[in-house]
């Protein structure tokens, strides 16, 4: 499948590289306003194809994404040290207002995956600007946060992270809700839960403080979503999708365990959850709703 990637920064280029070394796409097009950067990244990755997989990769313009089955948006102002995801709200809303119509024009049948922050809000903006059916708009949501949680728990429990039933739901942000109810293991004490919560919730910030950006984790996660779509896997990931109603809150994007297949978003699942977790999840989704209202007002100015 041909995949277009809008944004050739750290995240976009890492996704492209991951797609190539895992032989997930047949063709990749990198689009960026910094055309020299897009060309350099495409050429660098292309030089890996003789020893990995014969995936065609080029830089290009929007018209070059014509025929893409998946378009990934990573473009936008990246989060700087001390900056929250919601600080990026107005800046990235304006950027998306210029990107999404071009995707609609040149790749009208594509599934769009959003990895730009604040990702839940940007997905809602994409839905409104594109007019696409909701199943074809996927935000990376808390897929990375859940991966962080499961990888940390894996170290403590000596269990493969693939078999750990703990999730992060709601907003991809500081209000994200860690769901422990499905985890049945006496080794996880309340103190350890608090420490892990802090590590998961603020792990991205610490990485940004240390190296300036996060891109390996999210790059792998988005590439895996592409693989699930292309192979029609019906695989389950905690991505963010449009909900007509979530925990009593209407018309909002939020992360839940979600089936991903050739149509994009499939069935949305609801894991075991305690009353305390539910109240935290409601607050998280309310935060997304409030930010979404601000963003939608910005594009209507």
Q: Which residues are catalytic?
A: 172
216-244: b or e for each residue (b if 16 or more CB lie within 10 Å)?
Answer: ebbbbbbbbbbbbbbeeeebbbbbbbbbe
Q: In sequence order, which residues have a C-beta less than 8 Å from that of residue 54 and are 6 or more positions away?
A: none
Distance, CA of 164 to CA of 74 (rounded, Å): 29
Which ranges of 69-142 does DSSP label H, i.e. alpha helix? 89-106, 119-130
Identify the H or E element spanning 195. Answer: helix 190-201
Gap between the Cα atoms of 19 and 78, Å rounded = 22
DSSP-assigned beta bridge partners for residue 128: none
Burial code of 174-193, b = ≥16 C-beta within 10 A, e = fewer?
Answer: ebbbbbbbebeeeebeeeee
Length in residues, the chain: 301
Closest to 148 in 3D by CA, of 159, 160, 161:
161
């Amino acid at each position: 499948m041909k995949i277009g990637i809008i944004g050739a920064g750290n995240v976009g280029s890492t996704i492209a590289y991951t797609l190539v070394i895992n032989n997930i796409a047949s063709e990749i097009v990198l689009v960026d306003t910094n055309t020299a950067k897009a060309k350099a990244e495409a050429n660098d990755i292309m030089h890996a194809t003789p020893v990995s997989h014969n995936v065609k990769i080029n830089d290009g313009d929007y018209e070059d994404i014509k025929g893409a089955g998946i378009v990934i948006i990573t473009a936008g102002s990246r989060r700087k040290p001390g900056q929250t995801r919601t600080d990026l709200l107005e800046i990235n809303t304006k950027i998306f207002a210029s990107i999404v119509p071009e995707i609609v024009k040149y790749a009208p049948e594509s599934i769009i995956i959003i990895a730009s922050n604040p990702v839940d809000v940007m997905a809602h903006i994409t839905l409104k600007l594109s007019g696409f059916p909701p199943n074809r708009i996927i935000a990376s949501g808390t897929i990375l946060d859940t991966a962080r949680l499961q990888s940390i728990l894996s170290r403590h429990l000596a269990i493969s992270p693939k078999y750990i039933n703990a999730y992060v739901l709601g907003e991809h942000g500081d209000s994200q809700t860690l769901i422990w109810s499905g985890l049945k293991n006496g080794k996880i004490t309340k103190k350890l839960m608090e420490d892990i919560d802090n590590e998961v919730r603020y792990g991205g910030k610490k990485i940004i403080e240390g190296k300036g950006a996060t891109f390996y984790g999210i790059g792998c996660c988005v590439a895996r979503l592409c693989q699930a779509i292309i192979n029609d896997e019906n695989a389950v990931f905690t991505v963010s999708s449009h909900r007509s109603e979530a925990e009593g809150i209407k018309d909002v994007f939020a992360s839940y365990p979600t089936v991903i297949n050739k149509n994009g978003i499939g069935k949305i699942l609801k894991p075991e959850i305690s009353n305390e977790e539910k109240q935290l999840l409601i607050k998280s989704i309310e935060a997304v709703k409030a930010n979404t209202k601000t963003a939608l007002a910005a594009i209507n100015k």
